[in-house]
Amino acid sequence: MVCITEAKEVFKAGYGAEATHLFTAAGRINVIGEHVDYCGGKVLPAALNLCCKIFARKNGEKVIRILLKGIDGVIELDLDKLDSYKDLKYGNYQAGVAYLLKEKGVGLVGCDLYYDCGVPFGSGLSSSAAIEVATAVALCELAGVSYDKKELALLSQKAENEYVGVNCGIMDQFASAMGKKEHAVLLDCATLEYEYVPLELGEYRIVVANCNKPHNLKESKYNVRRQEVETALKLIRQVKEVGCLAELTPKDFNEVKYLLSGAVAKRAEHVVMECDRVKQAVEALKTGDIVELGRLLNESHYSLRDLYEVTGKELDALSSFARKEPECLGSRMIGAGFGGCTISIVKKTAVDGFIRRVGKAYFDAIGYRASFYETSIEDGVTVTQL
Ligand code: GLA
């Protein structure tokens, strides 16, 4: 645990006292169900071993202090002015979570926090959700209040929507808070009902690759996509009573698609077909049909590329080089897109060669390197007394 010892030393050097607690919340992959969470669809994310760690102690003052690994300086959040940190470059996610907890009546206590985020930023592995959920857990634990992880996921999403200004869905925060070792979470984003599905891939593994083109949801077309699907829903509601786009089967959609045109039609078609693929993917996982799961991953990527238009040349290159590998069953971008990561299903024995060849082909085509991560699926949240 070299990194924990090191982090504790950084904490002590920064704050002049020992950390008393370590809180972690995970980044995530999403097996399938992309850009459907905000349309009431089902998603299938899983929490990763890459997580945001917060080393913490109470400071007896009315301030939350934040040190971030790799960033100089201490950020101070006054507990009485939590609504005034929206424009911070760093610390606004934490301030948003603290602000909403306080609004809910949680008696926050002052604390010193050191963030060591092992989820690469802007990678599509939900570093922001990991930071939000870990912060929410840390602040509740230090305040000595009981909490429900599902509620903290919702509060974290609200912080991102209303405080940070990214209109994200619930998938990332839910996976981070509720993830379970070796399982994916089949989450119905309309009702928040969920079920754990064992992520058993037999002789296959999921390889995560970062195309290293940074993305930022606030600056990307993410919010535009949300508006486009809302427009589609409004138009469809002229002729059909429907709560959300995800309620439509492909057959229902065929009957109403004459109402839509251009980009709006393509976006809605992606949502409906992706929801259908989630069903098929869960079936494939439950019956151990990994070949079929791989096919569905490929279909998902093509749809995100051609209909939802959120891939870009980097993610397309990375997933298409992966697909050319004989031991790879399927590959797709995950998360918001516009940069970030892919997942590929690769035979365990072929992983090293896969990484070497896909890495080289990507470098030759794009001009900079992709990163590959050795990942495992873990519990979303941990709390440790140091
Ligand atoms: C981002 C958002 C999620 C979800 C995905 C796309 O990760 O935070 O809510 O919309 O994009 O599936």
The verdict on 163 and 212 lying in the same domain is no
The verdict on 214 and 193 lying in the same domain is no
**How far is CA 289 from each of CA 111, 205, 284, 333, rounded to the nearest angstrom?**
49, 14, 5, 21
Please report the pLDDT score of residue 122 as a whole number.
84
The verdict on 165 and 225 lying in the same domain is no
- Nearest-CA residue for atom 2 of ligand 1: 168
The verdict on 183 and 227 lying in the same domain is no
The verdict on 279 and 262 lying in the same domain is yes
141-150 confidence digits (pLDDT tens): 999 999 999 9
Handedness of CA 130, 131, 133, 137 (dihedral sign): positive
Q: Which of 38, 39, 168, 334 should be mutated for ligand 1, with most atoms under 8 A from CB?
A: 168
Reading the block at residue 167, the tokens are 């209109």
- Nearest-CA residue for atom 9 of ligand 1: 169
The verdict on 155 and 229 lying in the same domain is no
Please report the pLDDT score of residue 218 as a whole number.
63
The verdict on 135 and 282 lying in the same domain is no
Please count the structural domains in the chain.
2
Please report the pLDDT score of residue 219 as a whole number.
65
CATH of the domain at 260: 3.30.70.890
The verdict on 88 and 153 lying in the same domain is yes
The verdict on 115 and 185 lying in the same domain is yes
Please report the pLDDT score of residue 315 as a whole number.
97
In ligand 1, the atom with minimum distance to the C-alpha of 124 is: 7
pTM for the complete prediction?
0.95
The verdict on 195 and 209 lying in the same domain is no
The verdict on 233 and 272 lying in the same domain is yes
Distance CA 311, CA 315 (A): 6
List all residues 6 or more positions away from 106 whose beta carbon is below 8 Å from its beta carbon: 139, 140, 143, 145
Distance 332 CA to ligand 1 centre (A): 15
Q: Which residues of the chain have pLDDT under 70?
A: 1-2, 214-219
The verdict on 194 and 237 lying in the same domain is no
Please report the pLDDT score of residue 305 as a whole number.
98
Distance 126 CA to ligand 1 centre (A): 8
Instruction: Select which of 37, 112, 172, 276 is catalytic.
Output: 172
In ligand 1, the atom with minimum distance to the C-alpha of 34 is: 12
Q: Does 172 participate in catalysis according to the annotation?
A: yes
Please report the pLDDT score of residue 3 as a whole number.
80
Domain that holds residue 258: 204-375
